[in-house]
């Protein structure tokens, strides 16, 4: 079965000071996503996870440019499309849910108008059919009495409801792929659990593929089928979620897993020394080597390539080099 989305060798760079300074925010990212699959894109601030998503949907800020790679969505290369063509893809076949629901809803328009927009624009729905469609969508995201609530404005809703409405807008065009960029960071824990369960239910019903961008490994453990861990603009490890948690291959993944408190355990946490690197001035060699407790001499000089470990597992670390293993 052909994947819904196939990103290969994606490179997105920021050009500042008239091109005098180049920041390689995304530097050779490859992954693919099947129908109804959920991929977790994990990383810290500055690791390039959001830039990767914005590159896919062509919503990059002006200073950024895709300088290499392809983004195949249902067989079409999105990087070669004009903005006009992309507009017909976004909101219909690919939808995006952003972190702050208040910033993605317009405070001046009713909920009805905002949820109706994709169906109005992409599917030319009008009048009664459009109203029925909006009510159906709001019901799907569990807004109580949608026929009344759709006349309200965003400020009349709670934070959890607003984020569910953003979810309804995302589903309005009947997308094949939803990209959710930290959709629950502003929500309370019980509301977050409700929202994540809702996304799962919707995915089961519609078979939509999901990309979940997050820094929270707990969300990955709960939601995802596959995980790609990003560090300094590259995917440093990619695996099925179970394998990644059971047997992480990259030292950064191991360190991250060891640094998160687990319920009911008082074991000391592994503290990763140092800070995430500034993408504008990366260390030579492997970008993680200054913080890595397993670093080899060669890590400081040469960036490791992808090592393919079978079953779609990939990790970028010299420790996985056969020559190292034998010596």
Partner 1 sequence: MPSPVLEVRGLKKHFAVRRGLFGREGASVKAVDGVDFAIQPGETLGLIGESGCGKTTTSKLILLQEGPTAGSILFEGRDIAGLAGAELMAYRRAVQVVFQDPFSSLSPRMRVRDIIAEPLEIHTDLARSAIDERVGEVLELVGLAPDVAPLFPHEFSGGQRQRVAIARALATDTRLIVLDEPVSALDVSVRAQIINQLEHLQRTLGVSYLFIGHDLATVAHISHRIAVMYLGKIVETADSDTLCARPMHPYTKALFAAALPSHPGDRTESGAIVGEIPSPLNLPTGCRFHPRCPSAMPTCSQVEPALQYRDGAGLVACHLY
Contacts with partner 1, residue ranges (CB under 8 A): 44-45, 158, 160-161, 188-194, 197, 215-222, 224, 241-242, 245, 255-256, 258-266, 268-273, 275-276, 291
CB of 28 to partner 1, least distance (A): 22
CB closer to partner 1, 56 vs 166? 166
281 contacts: CB under 8 Å, gap ≥ 6: none
CB of 159 to partner 1, least distance (A): 8
Give the integer Cα–Cα distance in Å for 90 and 78.
Answer: 11
CB of 293 to partner 1, least distance (A): 13
Residue from 167, 233, 244, 203 nearest 14 by CA: 233
CB of 242 to partner 1, least distance (A): 5
CB closer to partner 1, 11 vs 216? 216
CB closer to partner 1, 174 vs 290? 290
Q: In what order do the strands lie in the sheet with 5-16?
A: 21-33, 5-16, 64-73, 76-77
CB of 210 to partner 1, least distance (A): 15
Phi first, then psi, for residue 136 (nearest 5°) are -60, -45
CB closer to partner 1, 66 vs 255? 255
Alpha-carbon separation of residue 233 from 17, 28, 132 (angstroms): 21, 8, 44
Give the integer Cα–Cα distance in Å for 235 and 287.
Answer: 12
CB closer to partner 1, 276 vs 283? 276
CB of 46 to partner 1, least distance (A): 9
CB closer to partner 1, 68 vs 276? 276
Decide the pairing of beta strands 21-33 and 177-181.
Answer: unpaired
Give the integer Cα–Cα distance in Å for 31 and 62.
Answer: 25
CB closer to partner 1, 131 vs 222? 222
CB of 311 to partner 1, least distance (A): 16
Burial 2-25 (b: 16+ CB within 10 A, else e): ebbbbbeebbbbbeeeeeeeebbb
Contact 67, 12 (CB under 8 A): yes
């Amino acid at each position: 079965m052909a994947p819904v989305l196939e990103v290969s060798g994606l490179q997105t760079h920021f050009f500042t000071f008239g091109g005098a300074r180049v920041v390689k925010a995304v530097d050779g990212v490859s992954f693919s996503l099947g129908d109804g699959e959920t991929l977790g894109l994990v990383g810290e601030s500055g690791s390039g996870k959001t830039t990767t998503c914005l590159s896919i949907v062509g919503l990059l800020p002006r200073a950024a440019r895709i300088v290499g790679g392809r983004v195949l969505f249902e067989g079409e290369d999105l990087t070669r499309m004009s903005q006009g063509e992309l507009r017909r893809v976004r909101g219909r076949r690919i939808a995006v849910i952003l972190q702050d629901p208040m910033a993605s809803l317009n405070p001046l328009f009713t909920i009805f108008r905002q949820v109706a927009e994709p169906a109005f624009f992409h599917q030319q729905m009008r009048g009664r059919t459009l109203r029925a469609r909006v009510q159906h969508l709001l019901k799907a995201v569990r807004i109580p009495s949608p026929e009344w609530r759709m006349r309200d404005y965003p400020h009349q809703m709670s934070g959890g409801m607003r984020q569910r409405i953003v979810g309804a807008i995302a589903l309005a065009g009947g997308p094949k792929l939803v990209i959710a960029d930290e959709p629950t960071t502003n929500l309370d824990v019980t509301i977050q659990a409700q929202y994540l369960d809702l996304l799962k239910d919707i995915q089961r019903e519609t078979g939509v593929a999901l990309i979940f961008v997050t820094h929270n490994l707990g969300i990955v453990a709960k939601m995802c089928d596959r995980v790609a861990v990003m560090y300094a603009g590259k995917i440093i490890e990619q695996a099925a979620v179970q394998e990644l948690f059971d047997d992480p291959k990259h030292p950064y993944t191991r360190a991250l897993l060891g640094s998160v408190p687990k319920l009911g355990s008082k074991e000391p946490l592994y503290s990763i020394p140092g800070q995430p690197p500034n993408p504008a001035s990366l260390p030579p060699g492997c970008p993680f080597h200054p913080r890595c407790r397993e670093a080899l001499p060669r890590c400081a000089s040469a960036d490791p390539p992808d090592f393919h470990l079978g079953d779609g597992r990939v990790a970028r670390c010299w420790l996985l080099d056969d020559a190292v293993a034998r010596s």
